[in-house]
Structure 1
Amino acid sequence: MTISLSILFLLFCYELPLIGFAVQSHIADIYHEPSETVERSGIYIIGIDVETLNNMESKQAVRDQLTNEHKDVLTITEINNSMSYTNKNRTLLSWFGLNAKSPKEKMREDLREYFGKEEQRLTDYFHNDHATGNSAGLAILLTELIINGTFQNHIPIAVTGAINGKGEVTAVGGIKEKIQIAEKSGFQFMIIPSENGKEAETFQKELHANIRILDVNQVDEAVKQINYLNDIYK
């Protein structure tokens, strides 16, 4: 009896977090105004606003509601059981402190490793509630190099990409939505990770986007591309 009750209790604890997720029906990616990392740096972070909606009947219903709220919807995803259980498992792990480091925390460590220290500007950025994932890593690193006098930039450039402590640029999510945002915002150039290159090419054709996309593997490649653009378009 004790064993049975213990098993039932554990099952209840496992299913409890799903109650809150059960009503979630859709996730919407929404346009977010690109932000310049530092005034006159010309480096712009491309982020996406994400909104979870409950008990919506269809994607069209979601679009209609958000449009009425004057939100520019990019994509809508219907939440399935797999996504619900993934979120639930993350919640359970967080309860016990077993979650892996968040992308934001990992980015902070990688930037600190690359520079050998953490500048006050980086500390301020990570205390910002809008700093979430790791896709701003490349933009932040490039900005620090500009501030440190490594190179200069005078052209508005949309930048997305994660980095590691060695300065390698790694893949990020939401490439389709970020291309849409950069295009809507009027950017002529966008730098992305080479790992996202093929999907970016596909989405660019699908969206009929005119923006010029440059993919890089290393921070040094990004600096080289920016220097080249500045020489051509100065």
Structure 2
Amino acid sequence: MNIEIEMKNKNLPFMATILLYLTQLILYLAGLISGTVFVKFLLFMSVMFVIFLFVIRNIVISKRAFVYSTILSSLLLIYELPLTLFGENDYLVTRYSEPEELIKGTSIYLLSVKIDHLSNVNNEHEIRAMYNDNQRVYDVVPGTNFKFYKDKNSSIFEFIGLYKSEVEKSFENVTTYLKTNNHAIDEFFARDENVGSSAGLALVLSSFIDQGKFQNNVPIAVTGAISKIGEVKKVGGIKEKIQIANEGEFSFMIIPIGNLTEANEVKERLNLSIKIIGVRDVDEAIKIIKKYN
């Protein structure tokens, strides 16, 4: 019995480290503390373990659990350190991005939204004053700790090769579906500023028109990710993309069927005239384009 209690006590520092870390993580994700406070706590915990190990160095007790706890707290500190880049007054700004006809003569226009991450600003009014009329700001949204933590983890996993970015996944899906190389598409995916996968459908349609598989003479705004078998997947930023397409004076816009309900709500709320068409796959998008030609 005494042996069991002693073994449990030996694991106590390690278990306490995990419990304290998870408690602080929950407080951070709930927005009750900032990333800086979270990281400072981990630093304090690591320093205290180091000091404690120094104090007990001459005492005849098992130090293994304390050594493991020191190593764990130090690794957690290193892993969570990037959170200090996100402050309490961080905002995400969505703004206008010019529709792009990636392959000239196809009349298929990619829609994208510019997203700025701003720190150390006081309020939305101050942010909007930083932009001129040509930049056309749509939304100013306070950043959440949950989003910052998700982005931080994705960046780390991507850096060490455990996660593929949305751009990499999109490139694989597009090239797999097309079964051929396209110089314009390769150049597009080589751009540093690319994020997300919403250009997939427009890239495939542009390539097919360029190959002569069908024709299009009607300017059409397109957004949508695709799978390797040509299914059209839901995308983000649909509200901003509809506004961009409408401001670009497009008569038609093709989007994923999964975004159609939200798109129609936006269209009605903003009283827009653009015709929005939802599609399930590439073949359906091609039929729609042929119809309007």
- The question of a shared fold, defined as TM-score above 0.5 by the shorter chain, is answered with yes
CA contact (8 A) 2:158 2:165 kept: no
Aligned counterpart for 1:179 among listed residues 233, 238, 242:
242
**Pairwise CA distance, 1:61:** 1.6
Matches of residues 197-208 of structure 1 in structure 2 within 5 Å? Answer: 197-208=260-271
Aligned match of 1:74: 138
- Say which SS state the counterpart of residue 82 (structure 2) adopts: helix
**Pairwise CA distance, 1:23:** 5.9
Superposed CA RMSD in Å reads 1.7
Q: Confirm whether residue 65 of structure 1 aligns to residue 133 of structure 2.
A: no
Aligned match of 2:87: 22
Which one has a larger percent strand, Structure 1 or Structure 2?
1
Aligned counterpart for 1:219 among listed residues 282, 287, 290:
282
**Pairwise CA distance, 1:122:** 2.4
Q: Distance in 1 between matches of 2:246 and 2:149?
A: 35
**Pairwise CA distance, 1:89:** 2.0
CA contact (8 A) 2:83 2:152 kept: yes
After TM superposition, which residue ranges in structure 1, 4 or more long, deviate above 4 angstroms? none
Aligned match of 1:151: 214
Which one has a larger percent helix, Structure 1 or Structure 2?
2
Aligned match of 1:191: 254
**Pairwise CA distance, 1:55:** 1.2
After the TM superposition, which of the residue ranges 187-196 and 80-89 deviates more from structure 2?
80-89
CA contact (8 A) 1:111 1:118 kept: no
Matches of residues 1-234 of structure 1 in structure 2 within 5 Å? Answer: 1=53, 2-22=67-87, 25-67=90-132, 70-99=134-163, 101-230=164-293
- Say which SS state the counterpart of residue 249 (structure 2) adopts: coil
- Say which SS state the counterpart of residue 33 (structure 1) adopts: coil
**Pairwise CA distance, 1:133:** 2.1
CA contact (8 A) 2:198 2:224 kept: yes
- Flag structure 1 segments of 5+ consecutive residues without an equivalent: none
**Pairwise CA distance, 1:158:** 0.3
Percent identity between the aligned chains? 38
Change in CA separation of 1:24 and 1:16 when aligned onto 2, cut-off 3 Å: farther
CA contact (8 A) 1:34 1:46 kept: yes
Change in CA separation of 1:95 and 1:167 when aligned onto 2, cut-off 3 Å: closer
Q: Distance in 2 between matches of 1:143 and 1:198?
A: 26
**Pairwise CA distance, 1:207:** 1.4
Q: TM-score, normalised by structure 1?
A: 0.91
CA contact (8 A) 2:94 2:138 kept: yes
Change in CA separation of 1:161 and 1:152 when aligned onto 2, cut-off 3 Å: same
CA contact (8 A) 2:102 2:184 kept: no
After the TM superposition, which of the residue ranges 43-52 and 75-84 deviates more from structure 2?
75-84
Q: Distance in 2 between matches of 1:119 and 1:7?
A: 48
**Pairwise CA distance, 1:146:** 0.6
**Pairwise CA distance, 1:24:** 5.8
After the TM superposition, which of the residue ranges 118-127 and 176-185 deviates more from structure 2?
118-127
Q: Distance in 1 between matches of 2:158 and 2:192?
A: 19
Q: Distance in 1 between matches of 2:198 and 2:279?
A: 14
Aligned match of 2:4: none
Q: TM-score, normalised by structure 2?
A: 0.73
Q: Which has the higher contact order (CA 8 A, sep 6+)?
A: 1
